[in-house]
Structure 1
Amino acid sequence: MPVGANNADREYFQFHKTMDSSLPHIGQAIRSRTTGDWIIPISRRVNDSVGNFAGVVLATIELAYFDRFFDRFDIGTKGVITLAMADGTVLARRPTMENVRGASIADGELFRKYLKERYEGTATVQSVLDHEIRLYGYKRLDRYPLVVLAGLSEHEVLDEWRQYAWRSLAIIVCVVVANLLFGVLLFQQIRFGLNAESQLRIASHSLEKLALQDSLTGLANRRHFQEILGLEFANGQANLHPLSLIMIDIDFFKSYNDNYGHVAGDKCIIAVAECIRSNLNRTGDLAVRYGGEEMAVFLPYSEAQGAFQLAEKIRQSVLARAIEHQGNPSGIVSISLGVYGCQTQECPTMEAFVERADAALYIAKHEGRNRTEIWQGGGSL
């Protein structure tokens, strides 16, 4: 403990002192007073027994970690990888620049235009830091106020494309000459083109499937789920048949990861996904990996009681696997489930539909976990 150490003047301390919230806070990059290294502070407010501010719990990540991590990627000589706050404040960047930490790129076209329209995508824009034009891939994280940007120099990309184009042109000229000289080669070339077209269709179908499927579990991903819900709640029209939703969460999953490791954690998620999939028999029912260890089952044409019975079958199926979990009082992996169902033309908005199922899941966890709860009129059954 450094003599006279006091961090009361730090931004994160003042933030928690004035904001009564238990959510974690990610601060701007600062230099540690203990080690002198650049760090990113991650903090959380602590209250006393009567709810008054009692202090701050702080963890730090060395920026040198990101320097080492970013070095693993090939981004060319003028490429860039940047980790920034949602407000545009730079936390880490490769390559590093003088005074780049704490600088703001909020005035850049990516933040002003593209991130306001979509939380992830690609765009060709000019950097506000070094004025290099790059092709960027960007994503704002779902659970944290962070944005990741990776950009390749447009000049380097086009140079590679031009080389490829010249090579392609030379090949085409040779093929044309060969076709003029040898008719049989023309026939073979046509067959090759037809085969390539077939492969492209297959590849296109595979890419479309990957875009809508979770790579770990094989279940539908959140994007696919939102698209299906969007069709059911299109333009604010009333639903034309009963709808139900089951929200699922693996009990004490953080403890499972801590005890058995992330590889075992992935296998646990896969096992639960298999239990869900094996209990779905109707065309149209959709199993979804909603995020992390949370999953969902969307059941069109199903009422709440039917969804409850299916949820119980899934819960019992997970218990039957008897996957060891020392962090669970039962000693094995279990799940909690929340169910919400609505009758024809009685469903609320798409957002409320999901929120009510999630609220029922919260009640199931609050009531002791390893159980299924149905949301009904602000409560559960």
Structure 2
Amino acid sequence: MLKKILAVILTLSLVFSMTSLGYADDSKHTAIFVVGQSSYVQDNLSKSMDAATFIQNGRTYVPLRYLGLALGVNENNIQWDSTSQTATLSMNGTTLKFIIGKTTYYTNSQANSMDVAPLVKNGRTYLPARYVAEAFGYKVNWNGDTQAVTVYTDVTPQAPNDVWGFPLKATKAEIKAGSQYAQITDINGNTYNLDMGQKALLVLGHYFTDMSGKRIDWSKVWIDEYAKAWNMTPDDVRKVYPEGSYYISDKIDSDAMYVPFIPLAEAFGVPKENIQWDGQYLTIYGWDGIKDGYQKYTANSTACSAKWHDGTITNGNLAFPLLVINGVPMIGMGNVFDFDQIFFVDGAYCSLVKGYSNSGGWDIKNGTIEFGVIPKNVK
């Protein structure tokens, strides 16, 4: 029955041995930093930095100010003493002190050891983030494949009120390739723009093999091939899919429209507390009417699994791999059902959100995708 499951920088910054600072005051966050990028993702939204993440001596170094900001640390609680070369961070009763060049750091005056020392590079101070993160109660995951470090916390999921899932919050989404925004129609018929934090992208497999067995670099010829297939000119294709609206990946065998998964799930009604992304696995709780029922997807893979109300775990495959682009999990769609069957009723006896798949699809010639839903109690 498994459905297709699918901060001070008063000249300061921070190392990322794969991790993070602490909790925001009275809130929890997820932050993603990708090696070589001068941006990061905080709670699904992309934000800019004035320094880039890098790796040195096997550790990932991340700008402190931005890591602190990403996780909600108040800038007033991040202090830099240039005389003693000490960085101090405080949150929720925990105070951490790091000294440049020293492998000893202090948690509320208690000495601790680490395997790397804070350093200064290009006028920025970088700290070993894993120690900071764990002291503040965070977990860290490093994904070598995507060169991304994810800082996250365990979720405390809510239970849906029945097997059909959570109340439906939206009935329609319209998204265009290259746009960071989705137009959402809510359950009352009002529309608004949802910032997805990452652009929707046409994703193309780098290579394909033709009928004669010849391996062709699809990324070099796709515009011409699209023009032929859809009775368009190459210039037409470029207008629909300009630079920045597509992405070349070795992870897929055919083209698909990819959209950020988490913000759309929340828009349609899945509670934020029920979604956990650790950089390797995306888990959505509340499946089959219980809070610990789940659907789980694996980064850069079609592999997925589901846990049912009786404890049974079943395995399946997505139509396209769950790609991780700039640290963000993206779901691929060849048609509308590749997205909505994850959430909505489609002939099965359970769901995540109480709605029936209704309409939509990917308009390749216009570079848009749309999917609609009707509430479960509407026939």
For the criterion TM > 0.5, the same-fold answer is: no
More strand by share: 2
Q: Which has the larger radius of gyration?
A: 1
Instruction: Report the TM-score range of the alignment, normalised by the length of the smaller protein.
Output: under 0.3
